[in-house]
Amino acid sequence: MTQQHPYGALTPDTVINAVESLGLYSDFRQYPLNSYENRVYQVGIEDSTPLIVKFYRPGRWTPAQIQEEHDVLAMLDQQGIAVAAPMTFDGKTLFEYNNFHFSVTQKLTGMPLEAGDLDQLYAIGELVGHLHHQTQTWTTPKRPLIEPKVRTLTASKLVENCPFLPKTLVARYRQLAQQLIEKMTITEQRCPTNRPRFIHGDCHRSNLLNCEGTLTLLDFDDCRMGLAIQDLWLHVSEADTKQQQLSELIEGYENYHPFDTRELDLIDVFMAERHIAYTAWIAERWQDPAFPAIFPHFKGEDFWLQHLNDLDDILKQWGQWR
């Protein structure tokens, strides 16, 4: 909670100078885009289309880990999968300026996806299936699998020690976290699955763009080894129709790649992990000025009551994905 803000030196001049260090000429227009973990800007280029410039959060990934992501994107682009791949300058895609690592991509225009649209869910399934088929033999040695239970244990301790968690709720939080971790352990033991494989890692609706009918995958910042279901379940938006939505996703997916239905039982595991890890992420990043501005409610009791209710709902609905 006391970490120094990593973007304090990322001034508007630094953004422009970083872009121009690549031999580009900016028209000095820059517009910040929604990105909490990294900093992303649309930067105007003289007599040309604006470009998207991404500054990676210092200390999160090593240069080798970022380069592994770039290499994956280059291969996907070559294989005809619609992704936002970084541009190459003098044979490189990753650059450094004033101790910030950054990359540049072309600006994409398109429409966001609609939650729960069955036709779009089918198309999303096809895109993810195509991605998984083309990458079925790939590994990412620098971004290995992280067991969800391990991540949840670490995150739950961070949340438990968060000063904004009301002391009157600590015992209830600790009990819910322990119950969820026990459920995760039992479910993982009961559900053997295929080997880990390359995944996008954060494949939610906001990381997809409909570019004139072509669904394009954005932001591979969390790509790593994992399970196929991790790239599918986040697109289920309505609890009342979750089986129907999953059915559309899987039907589209299997046009390109077989799906191991045993992984459906692990959705609860990944859901519990994501809820706890998300809350821990906000706590861990609180010294970044962007976070108090975006999540002012994080300090209020209502946020924590809702978080505990969400965890309780996961427990009550565990095992109902088939």
Query: Residues forming the annotated binding site for Mg(2+)?
Result: 207, 219
φ/ψ of 93, rounded to 5, equals: -120, -15
Q: Which residues are annotated as a binding site?
A: 207, 219
Partners of 96 in the beta sheet? 101
d(CA 251, CA 101): 40
What Cα–Cα distance (Å) separates residue 42 from each residue in 32, 54, 199, 302?
6, 9, 27, 35
Amino acid at position 233, single letter: W
Q: For 209, what's the count of Cα atoms within 13 Å in the CB-facing half-sphere?
A: 14
Positions marked active-site: 202, 219
**Partners of 181 in beta bridges:** none
185: enclosing H helix or E strand: helix 170-190
Q: Residue 271 in 3-state DSSP?
A: helix
Q: Which residue has the tokens 């239905």?
A: 261
SS3 state of residue 165: coil
The H-or-E segment that residue 29 falls in is strand 26-33
| Secondary structure class of 237 (helix, strand, coil) | coil
At 46, list the tokens: 């003289």
